[in-house]
Structure 1
């Protein structure tokens, strides 16, 4: 089963490309973003607008209320079912998003932990907050209780490695040190990665934050600030504004925090996709004509099955 996948950091044109390919190849789009599932969080998540959809069917957008949790395990189950449904209708599934763990757990046969808390940044935020409040040794004791094998190898003051080991255990149910078989790829997926020069990317991210403010980001964040304990409130672009609402910082400082965290997240996104998947990289920001190359490559790739079938039928 063929699945087009578009990955990359924020502000590189994933939405525009996905709609172009959906129009050209009779596709439907599945959002692979951990925050766009929430109703009412439109501006801060850069959610595709109804006019931008241009009549293309989109899935897994606006499927949860902000007080509900959503995990990679939830996404994996729902997105796989959606891929099957789209394919049965004779259309091409197009998965689009920047949440690396979501994409990886969908396309490969990953067994996610029963806890379901597999959002790459949510677990990290949770454990960092615990360490800030309770200390590195208390965080290490959590690892000792969950994964004694890793705890023996990782010093309690190496917070980064302790958190990573906890993330892996909570996500997979296995120690980070256990040898793992390479998971099987479930779909014939052509993975398109979009990126651009770092200076340009960071400028686009900064400009996007400013635009979000003009579009009403503060009003959206104020509603979420009423329930700061929910998972959705941990999203970049929202939590940084809460200190401003409570008078603890200036708006300028809060917006700079959003831009900083967005740039850092973009860097983590790129690292994930480069290290964990085979991606065909393109720069549509500086080389917009490259879209013709992408379209031609996808057309050839989609035709491979048809060519194989015709040969077998002879």
Structure 2
């Protein structure tokens, strides 16, 4: 297998919707370019969340080092700002050892935090706590009206409760709209992004099969174990696909069959949102996820883009 000198290569990123085969392509490219993987899936930061996040096993890694997996306990909150620092430190470390850094994942903002020029606004726990109280008392519609008055761009997005509060918090802390901090698609350092283009109907089928396989592999038991470690108290982990649904199974609110069906529906919606996010980035070069020569085509694209032999 041909190996290109790592020092000649930019940062490589493999992106696309969940279930499209990003992990496998990342490992393939790491073998071709003497690389190491940096995780950019926010739910794979969590120790013990293995089955429900389709985290690559040690055998599947084929000896390729993987960074930023299993960095958080389930009760801890993931932070894009913290991830940016960790990812860029990992990139520098990998390059410093003469290897090629390969970012792999489908968490769009985390990918851009690693790749793009992007500053993060400050936080204020006291303001956030007050806004959470306002939400509980006044409801989401009233808070959305408040956000519309100061940040109509953010208010126009389909924000969940957490992001709605964050947008209001940022305005109070920084005096600037949260939308003004959005990345401008300018790379922090030389990079190339490869996206996995999917057939949506076939992806829907694959995601359903994958959820059923997760259930058969012991997803419920994994959730029970993590529940004892504080899963419910985690702002981020408790909302993960499959985990929130199977917490309801533990509580008797859903059957396993209902939880699986709900997880399939939620995963499909998530995949659609991922595609919308990544398709908006014109810098991504899209390849057919089912191309039998996908690894070779991706490697050739990387070489041609940067004039590598």
CA contact (8 A) 1:2 1:188 kept: yes
CA contact (8 A) 2:19 2:206 kept: yes
Report the equivalent of 1:54.
62
Shift of 1:162: 9.1
Once residues 30 and 114 of structure 2 are traced to their aligned partners in structure 1, the CA distance between those partners, rounded to angstroms, is 20
Shift of 1:70: 1.7
CA contact (8 A) 1:74 1:116 kept: no
Q: What's the TM-score, normalizing by structure 1?
A: 0.81
Shift of 1:284: 2.4
CA contact (8 A) 2:170 2:177 kept: no
Residues 99-140 of structure 1 show CA distances to partners (whole Å, capped at 9, x for unaligned) of 0000111111111123399xxxxx9xx98x986874234423
CA contact (8 A) 2:147 2:154 kept: no
Residues 172-213 of structure 1 show CA distances to partners (whole Å, capped at 9, x for unaligned) of 953156598946421211100013111100110110001111
What value does the CA root-mean-square deviation take over the aligned residues? Answer: 3.2
Report the equivalent of 2:223.
221
> Counterparts in 2 of 1:120-135, with a 5 A limit?
134-135=138-139
Match of 2:304 among 291, 300, 303: 300
For the structure 1 residues 86 and 194, does the alpha-carbon distance in structure 2 shift closer, same or farther, using more than 3 Å as the test?
A: same
Shift of 1:12: 1.0
Is residue 84 of structure 1 aligned with residue 92 of structure 2? yes
Match of 2:203 among 187, 201, 204: 201
Unaligned runs of 5+ in 2: 1-8
Once residues 263 and 160 of structure 2 are traced to their aligned partners in structure 1, the CA distance between those partners, rounded to angstroms, is 26
Report the equivalent of 1:136.
140
CA contact (8 A) 1:44 1:212 kept: yes
Match of 1:291 among 274, 288, 295: 295
Shift of 1:235: 0.7
Q: What's the TM-score, normalizing by structure 2?
A: 0.83
CA contact (8 A) 1:36 1:45 kept: yes
Report the equivalent of 2:101.
93
Unaligned runs of 5+ in 1: 118-122, 308-314
Once residues 185 and 20 of structure 2 are traced to their aligned partners in structure 1, the CA distance between those partners, rounded to angstroms, is 29
CA contact (8 A) 1:18 1:29 kept: yes
Residues 257-289 of structure 1 show CA distances to partners (whole Å, capped at 9, x for unaligned) of 10011000001111111113521111222x222
Moved more, 28-37 or 105-114: 105-114
